Amino acid sequence: MTIKELIQAELERIPEEQLEQVYKLLREFNEKSNESTSDWEALGDLLEECKVKTGVDDLSYQHDHYLHGTPKRKQL
């Protein structure tokens, strides 16, 4: 049996009153899969979600100052 046939067989066993829930679930699944993002966008979203909020916007440029106390570098 194909996957489609297996799904159809399972649908036949579901009571009519529960089919609406299955339909909503399938619609949500299809909508999410249509909203596909590129791997780069997904990576950007993940990095944005995980970044540490330090309140310091020049942390990477001035890392020696923040780690070792050296004088701040001149801004570019």
User: What is the model's pLDDT at position 62?
Assistant: 86
The C-alpha atoms of residue 67 and residue 75 are separated, in whole angstroms, by 18
Confidence (pTM): 0.41
Stretch 62-72: mean pLDDT: 89
**CB 66, CB 72: distance < 8 Å:** no
User: What is the model's pLDDT at position 63?
Assistant: 84
Please enumerate in sequence order all residues whose Cβ is within 8 A of that of 72, keeping only pairs 6 or more positions apart, or say none.
62, 65
Express each pLDDT in 5-55 by its tens digit: 999 999 999 999 899 999 999 998 888 766 667 788 888 888 888 877 777
Q: Which amino acid is at 53?
A: K
Output DSSP code: residue 59.
T
> Which bin fits 55, alpha (ψ -120 to 50), beta or left (φ > 0)?
left
